[in-house]
Chain A
Amino acid sequence: MSDLTRLSASEIAGLVASGAASAVEVAQAHLDRIEAVDSALHAFLHVDTEGALDAARAVDKQRANGDALGQLAGVPLAMKDVVVTKDLPTTAGSKILEGWRPPYDATITRRIKQAGIVMLGKTNMDEFAMGSSTENSAFGPTHNPWDLNRIPGGSSGGSSAAVAGYQAPLAIGTDTGGSIRQPAAVTGIVGHKPTYGGVSRYGLIAFSSSLDQAGPFARTVFDAALLHEVIGGHDECDSTSIGAPTPPIVAAAREGARGDLSGVRVGVVRELGGEGYQPGVLASFQAAVETLRGLGAEVIEVSCPHFEYALPAYYLIAPSECSSNLARFDAVRYGLRVGDDGANSLEDVMSLTREAGFGPEVKRRVMIGTYALSSGYYDAYYGQAQKVRTLIARDFATAFEKTDVLVAPTTPFVAFDIGERAADPMAMYVNDLCTLPASLAGTPAISVPCGLSEGLPVGLQVMAPALADDRCYRVAAAFEAATEPVLAAIPELSG
């Protein structure tokens, strides 16, 4: 049998459904691959060998019984460690949660298990999803399978590396300011941030509640749509969950793969490009726009003047919300406790625990958020940032009056070296320039590979109006069908 780890999720599902491969074989092949290459990649924080094989056996048994199988039954998946998994270690990349085994499943974990998807383990990430490189993990960085000296993006860098590195055909990421799209872009895979409220947040360890969204990573647009369909849809445990069905994303991915974008109006956002972007990135993007035009799309330049305020607004809103969300890590109910020597007060123990348990980026953001929410500063900072969100949403609305989707590079640069930007928070934050507007507006956006620059992948971002995730999938699938697979160029990992 050909290497099972090189197949797409839908191919694997087909083999399992037909009996050409057992789910156990598939799981074992991926576990072997992890065993072989994860010492180099460090994509996983926890590999659940027994749990994966048990889940695979259950799928094989279902098939043997003649039970109906889900569309992705038997397909392995790598789960970002920010998603709560019952009885499996869940750390969100933080020392403060080291050893915690949650007593419950996130809604998306439950849906993934019910679909017969085989969870291989938990992937590395920037601590509490704060970062763009996975260097902020308390458990060491993940390496980009394209070049082990480079970052795999972040915060969902473990998930992107696992998929690009053929450890799993599918992965779950979360995106607060670009944490699915940017890692997808710099590892040459597909990643989609759904419309806010489209996928339940119940069981996602919160970073910024009004921005966080879970979404799929895959090596093809179609696979991403299949996974999105499994995790998406209304959840009564999440008050912000949209009470409408997931848009027809799988059908849209199929439709797009036919390669016809006639009648589709594609807006190029003037403000997301230009000086400061790497020339190779811009060149790949220009070529991508031409490809879209070649597929029949009508290309229009649009202006979104308030996008330039997305970065300052984001770096107020996200830290503000996280300063409150992370207050619960206090050494009382779960997690780390430091300094409980019988003499220290609870207040001391809380402060010592949080000091020891949080990394520098988390502390920075907690303090910025604490500052921005303080009385006297609230209106000028958090309040004003929420108004900027309105302006950004209006920019989108105006642009979507004459376009169906907007496109931009996913990131200003390709994967950079580990350590290159670590010392300077602001240098790291500019990674998110192109992804932040859709985060703040809550609109869906996908990143699909669009060629290489200096031998490293570049991402094309396709943005759509809220609830129109299907447009992202359609355009991305058409683009994918019209271009050479980027991953074909990935160097073989020695393993």
Chain B
Amino acid sequence: MDVSPALPGRRAAERRIGRSRASVDFDTVSESSDASTGRISRAEVAHLARLARLAVSEDELDLFAGQLDVILGAVARVGEVAADDIPPTSHAVPMTNVFRADEVRPPLPREAVLAAAPDVEDNKFRVPRILTDEA
């Protein structure tokens, strides 16, 4: 089956990647997408874009809705692995208690702090008016 009928430029040869018995079965990923994630709607993409502070265009909403749907369908395959009793891994070499002593180190010079700022006033970073209250 086709992973992404809506997307141009996808070649049959590429779709066959991982068809073999033992390697990554790339095409089946979208099958689980319907079950696990459902279609990503334009509205959901718009919501994600707002959360991520991206002023995406109308055209992008369509493009990303299609692409995110395919990708999220593919990655949902992680759910196929029965892993209830498996602990998560966050770091390859487990370490704990990496601390520093409570010692003061020199700060950056203020010119360096402010040098790259888009706008500065009174040695502070100037930003346009803020709409939302603090969290």
Touch between chains A and B, by CB atoms below 8 Å? yes
Contacts of B26 in A (CB 8 A): 276, 311, 426, 430
B54 touches A271 (CB 8 A): no
Tell me, rounded to whole Å, the shortest Cβ–Cβ distance linking B84 to chain A. 9
Interface residue tally for chain B (C-beta within 8 Å)? 78
B130 touches A332 (CB 8 A): no
Tell me, rounded to whole Å, the shortest Cβ–Cβ distance linking A203 to chain B. 14
Question: How long is the Cα–Cα vector from A335 to B115 in the complex, in angstroms?
Answer: 10
Tell me, rounded to whole Å, the shortest Cβ–Cβ distance linking B3 to chain A. 6
Given contacts A368-B71, A388-B81, A412-B17, contact A323 B52 (CB under 8 A): yes
Of all chain B residues, the one with the shortest Cβ separation from A244 is B93
Does B98 lie at the interface of the complex (its beta carbon under 8 Å from any beta carbon of A)? yes
Q: Is the contact region of chain B dominated by helix, strand, or loop, or is it mixed?
A: loop
Tell me, rounded to whole Å, the shortest Cβ–Cβ distance linking B97 to chain A. 10
Interface residue tally for chain A (C-beta within 8 Å)? 93
A381 touches B22 (CB 8 A): no
Given contacts A337-B119, A443-B92, contact A363 B24 (CB under 8 A): no
B95-106, CB under 8 A of A: which get 1 and which 0? Answer: 100101000000
Tell me, rounded to whole Å, the shortest Cβ–Cβ distance linking A80 to chain B. 20
A412-432, CB under 8 A of B: which get 1 and which 0? Answer: 100000000111111100100
Tell me, rounded to whole Å, the shortest Cβ–Cβ distance linking B89 to chain A. 4
B3 touches A340 (CB 8 A): no
Contacts of B119 in A (CB 8 A): 337, 340
Tell me, rounded to whole Å, the shortest Cβ–Cβ distance linking A106 to chain B. 15
Tell me, rounded to whole Å, the shortest Cβ–Cβ distance linking A342 to chain B. 8
Segment 348-380 of A: residues with Cβ below 8 Å from B: 348-352, 354-355, 358, 360, 363-364, 366-368, 370-372, 374, 380
Tell me, rounded to whole Å, the shortest Cβ–Cβ distance linking B77 to chain A. 4
Does A309 lie at the interface of the complex (its beta carbon under 8 Å from any beta carbon of B)? yes
B95 touches A275 (CB 8 A): no
A425 touches B67 (CB 8 A): yes
Question: How long is the Cα–Cα vector from A430 to B53 in the complex, in angstroms?
Answer: 29
Contacts of A95 in B (CB 8 A): none
Given contacts A275-B16, A344-B128, contact A100 B116 (CB under 8 A): yes
Give me the interface of B with A, judged by CB distance under 8 Å. 3-4, 7-11, 14, 16-26, 29, 36, 40, 44-45, 48-57, 60, 63-64, 67-68, 70-72, 74-81, 83, 86-93, 95, 98, 100, 108-109, 112-113, 115-119, 125, 127-132
11 pairs across A/B with beta carbons < 8 Å? A308-B25, A337-B118, A337-B119, A345-B128, A351-B50, A351-B54, A364-B71, A368-B68, A385-B78, A424-B7, A426-B10
14 further A-B contacts with Cβ under 8 Å, apart from A386-B88, A390-B88, A466-B92, are A240-B91, A274-B22, A275-B19, A310-B24, A312-B29, A332-B127, A335-B116, A342-B128, A354-B53, A368-B72, A368-B75, A370-B52, A387-B89, A389-B89
